[in-house]
């Protein structure tokens, strides 16, 4: 394979068809004001290294912004363009390298640049290109979202991943194909660990990571572990890189991490208060939670909001529950363990949001504020629900254009799902982004279009699609062999879809 354009990056196998809500500019609109920083209106947005372009296209369909994106893998660019052609949204997806893209003179100044799952997996020179691009192309006041692997959470695994990389390069024959080479390399690493090296005793988390890798999608692993480059870094090293583009840290896009009570114990908070440097405190929190992956917003010139401006901003922002009320949960996994939410505040909040109604934050505060629960308590409760993916920022009145773009994109994705199980999301004009919708759910939606109505009819339609392709459902990792078994399982799932998923989708404008 020509090294010239790949820079040692894996291009032999395509990336997964993932969707990442952190890349949704609507999240930045809530996350930044929560930290007292203004978020600009996002008219021009850009995603670097977009993979198959699912997030790029969902966000373009769900907004009226002009989106640009680049990913040097032409197979990725063509996949992203195909989605854009069907949605009709304003997306320009190119197959340029970061270096070529940076030199383009026809690009606008961006209000928002998003980079997910790229920074740690590219060379020093390519990181330089990205910083120069941001320096030249992010507007003053603009927002950068970037995720990356970080110390200390990744420290123990680095030598094991490097050893696997050496094995892959030196021993596993390149003619075998990437998937087979990855399998062989994982096998080798497992045998090494089975011989009980002292390393395994000192780094049990790395050993577990290897065991987990064996169960993961090989395309994902190819890009995650088997690139030439993999460079986790500390938060402060990252801040030095971005300082060159005049960016300052704004806040975490992992909304749970904005709440100190979920990331640190009382004792740790007391220690942190004794540290006089705010940026150093952020890095120390990474030790408190053994952070592996940071997802952060940075801004080119922070405009601080006064308390009155902050309240006005919240008044105008809306949110919506993205699960069925029966599935709303008062326990969740926080950065340092399971958290029980305060029923007294969360129960009335969930009741008020029930039926997946879009509510403005101002309305929520006016309705639920009391002597006991202040605006701050309510905002924290909303952040927790958003961080736990139960609630999402919402557009209270999506335009006809946005609705049409999402509908066209969704229809294309659903029709594609007759044949392949790849894009497990549908675009919501209300959240301006993707909502999980597995292949079977998409087949049920196709059945409804085909005038099927009952659970039985939906199940039969889905079964026809699967059996015509000689496919079966699986349960606990084992295929269901007979038609009767498949139909019974499909009927059960169709019942859940009709009772729960369909009403939620309808409230989210997914049809
Ligand atoms: C790990 S994938 C992440 C994809 C996507 N952002 C996601 O999270 O699903 C990294 C992406 O960056 C692209 N990439 C890597 N190096 C690049 C370069 N020098 N120029 C442009 N794209 C690059 C790859 O093709 C790949 O699609």
H or E stretch covering 66: strand 66-70
Ligand 1 centroid, distance to 473 Cα (angstroms): 32
Residue 440 has pLDDT above 60, yes or no: yes
CA distances from 80 to 65, 257, 423, 438, 470 (A): 17, 31, 12, 19, 29
Looking at the CA of residue 98, tell me the nearest atom of ligand 1. Answer: 20
User: In the predicted model, what is the mean pLDDT of residues 7-30?
Assistant: 86
Residue 119 has pLDDT above 50, yes or no: yes
Whether 15 is in the pocket of ligand 1, judged by its Cβ within 6 Å, is yes
Residue 71 has pLDDT above 50, yes or no: yes
Residue 345 has pLDDT above 80, yes or no: yes
Ligand 1 centroid, distance to 51 Cα (angstroms): 5
Band of pLDDT at residue 217, cut at 50, 70 and 90 = confident
Residue 496 has pLDDT above 50, yes or no: yes
Query: Whose CA is closest to atom 11 on ligand 1?
Result: 49
Looking at the CA of residue 115, tell me the nearest atom of ligand 1. Answer: 6
Query: Quick one: tokens of 239?
Result: 């801040």
% pLDDT > 70, the chain:
98
Whether 154 is in the pocket of ligand 1, judged by its Cβ within 6 Å, is no
pLDDT of residue 262: 87
Ligand 1 centroid, distance to 237 Cα (angstroms): 21
H or E stretch covering 475: strand 474-475
Contact 73, 14 (CB under 8 A): yes
Looking at the CA of residue 116, tell me the nearest atom of ligand 1. Answer: 6
Contact 345, 373 (CB under 8 A): yes
Residue 266 has pLDDT above 80, yes or no: yes
pLDDT of residue 360: 94
Whether 97 is in the pocket of ligand 1, judged by its Cβ within 6 Å, is yes
Ligand 1 centroid, distance to 256 Cα (angstroms): 26
Whether 505 is in the pocket of ligand 1, judged by its Cβ within 6 Å, is no
Looking at the CA of residue 73, tell me the nearest atom of ligand 1. Answer: 25
Looking at the CA of residue 55, tell me the nearest atom of ligand 1. Answer: 9
User: What's the mean per-residue pLDDT of the chain?
Assistant: 93
- What is the C-alpha end-to-end distance of the chain, expressed in Å? 43
Looking at the CA of residue 96, tell me the nearest atom of ligand 1. Answer: 21
Whether 18 is in the pocket of ligand 1, judged by its Cβ within 6 Å, is yes
Ligand 1 centroid, distance to 428 Cα (angstroms): 25
Whether 19 is in the pocket of ligand 1, judged by its Cβ within 6 Å, is no
Contact 145, 253 (CB under 8 A): yes
Looking at the CA of residue 16, tell me the nearest atom of ligand 1. Answer: 9
Whether 73 is in the pocket of ligand 1, judged by its Cβ within 6 Å, is yes
Residue 77 has pLDDT above 50, yes or no: yes
Whether 7 is in the pocket of ligand 1, judged by its Cβ within 6 Å, is yes
Query: Whose CA is closest to atom 3 on ligand 1?
Result: 117
Residue 180 has pLDDT above 60, yes or no: yes
Looking at the CA of residue 11, tell me the nearest atom of ligand 1. Answer: 25
Band of pLDDT at residue 488, cut at 50, 70 and 90 = very high
Question: By CB neighbour count within 10 A (0-12 exposed, 13-18 middle, 19+ buried), where does 105 fall?
Answer: exposed
Whether 463 is in the pocket of ligand 1, judged by its Cβ within 6 Å, is no
**CA 83, CA 219: separation in Å to the nearest integer?**
20
The answer to which of 71-75, 99-103, 168-172, 402-406 has the lowest mean pLDDT is: 168-172
Ligand 1 centroid, distance to 42 Cα (angstroms): 23
**CA 508, CA 496: separation in Å to the nearest integer?**
17
Contact 167, 45 (CB under 8 A): no
User: In the predicted model, what is the mean pLDDT of residues 396-416?
Assistant: 97
> Domain boundaries in the chain?
155-225
Query: Quick one: tokens of 486?
Result: 């498949």
Residue 2 has pLDDT above 70, yes or no: no
Whether 223 is in the pocket of ligand 1, judged by its Cβ within 6 Å, is yes
Ligand 1 centroid, distance to 115 Cα (angstroms): 9
Ligand 1 centroid, distance to 55 Cα (angstroms): 13
Whether 433 is in the pocket of ligand 1, judged by its Cβ within 6 Å, is no
Residue 343 has pLDDT above 60, yes or no: yes
pLDDT of residue 206: 94
Residue 268 has pLDDT above 70, yes or no: yes
Whether 71 is in the pocket of ligand 1, judged by its Cβ within 6 Å, is yes
pLDDT of residue 280: 97
Reduce the secondary structure of 97-143 to three states and give it as a string: CHHHHHCCCCCCCEEEEEECCCHHHCCHHHHHHHHHHHHHHEEEEEE
| Residue among 71, 80, 222 to mutate when testing ligand 1 (max atoms within 8 A of CB) | 71
Question: Which of 133 and 481 is assigned the larger pLDDT?
Answer: 133
pLDDT of residue 338: 86
Residue 1 has pLDDT above 60, yes or no: no
Ligand 1 centroid, distance to 50 Cα (angstroms): 6
Query: Whose CA is closest to atom 27 on ligand 1?
Result: 51
Ligand 1 centroid, distance to 14 Cα (angstroms): 10
């Amino acid at each position: 394979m020509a090294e010239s354009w790949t820079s040692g990056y894996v291009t032999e196998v395509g990336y997964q068809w993932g969707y990442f809500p952190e890349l949704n500019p609507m999240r930045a609109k809530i996350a930044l004001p929560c930290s007292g920083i203004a978020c600009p209106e996002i008219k021009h947005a850009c995603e670097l290294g977009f993979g198959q372009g699912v997030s790029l296209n969902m966000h373009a369909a769900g907004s009226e912004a002009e989106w640009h994106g680049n990913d040097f893998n032409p197979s990725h660019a063509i996949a992203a363009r195909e989605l854009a052609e069907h949605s009709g949204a304003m997306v320009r997806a190119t197959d340029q390298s970061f270096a070529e893209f940076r030199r383009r003179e026809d690009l606008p100044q961006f209000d928002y640049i998003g980079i997910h799952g790229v920074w740690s997996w590219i060379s020093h020179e390519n990181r330089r290109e990205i910083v120069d691009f941001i320096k030249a192309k992010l507007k003053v006041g603009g927002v950068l979202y970037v995720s990356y692997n970080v110390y200390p959470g990744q420290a123990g695994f680095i030598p094991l991943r490097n050893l696997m990389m050496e094995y892959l390069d030196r021993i596993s024959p390149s003619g075998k194909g990437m998937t087979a080479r990855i399998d062989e390399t994982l096998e080798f690493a497992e045998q090494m660990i089975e011989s009980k090296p002292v390393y395994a005793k000192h780094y049990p988390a790395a050993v577990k990571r290897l065991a987990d890798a064996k169960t993961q999608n090989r395309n994902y692993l190819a890009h995650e572990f088997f690139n030439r480059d993999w460079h986790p870094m500390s938060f402060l090293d990252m801040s030095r890189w971005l300082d060159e583009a005049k960016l300052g840290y704004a806040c975490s896009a992992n909304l749970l991490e904005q709440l100190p009570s979920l990331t640190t114990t009382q004792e740790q908070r007391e220690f942190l208060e004794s540290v006089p440097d705010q940026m150093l405190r952020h890095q120390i929190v990474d030790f408190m939670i053994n952070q592996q992956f940071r997802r952060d917003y940075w801004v080119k010139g922070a405009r601080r909001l006064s308390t009155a401006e902050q309240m006005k901003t919240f008044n105008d922002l809306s949110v919506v529950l993205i699960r069925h009320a029966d599935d709303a949960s008062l326990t969740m996994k926080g950065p340092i363990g399971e958290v029980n939410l305060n029923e007294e505040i969360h129960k009335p909040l969930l009741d008020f949001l029930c039926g997946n109604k879009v509510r403005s934050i101002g309305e929520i505060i006016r309705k639920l504020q009391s002597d006991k629960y202040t605006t701050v308590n309510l905002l924290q409760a909303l952040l927790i629900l958003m961080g736990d993916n139960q609630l999402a920022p919402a557009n209270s009145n999506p335009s006809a254009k946005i609705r049409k773009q999402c509908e066209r994109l969704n229809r294309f994705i659903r029709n594609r799902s007759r044949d392949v199980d790849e894009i497990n999301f549908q675009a919501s004009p209300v959240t301006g982004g993707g909502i999980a919708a597995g292949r079977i759910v998409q087949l049920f939606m196709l059945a409804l279009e085909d005038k099927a109505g009952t659970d039985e009819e939906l199940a039969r339609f889905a079964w026809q699609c699967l059996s015509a392709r000689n496919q079966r459902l699986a349960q606990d990792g084992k295929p269901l062999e007979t038609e009767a078994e498949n139909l019974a399982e499909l009927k059960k799932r169709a019942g859940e879809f009709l009772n729960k998923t369909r009403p939620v989708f309808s409230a989210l404008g997914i049809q």
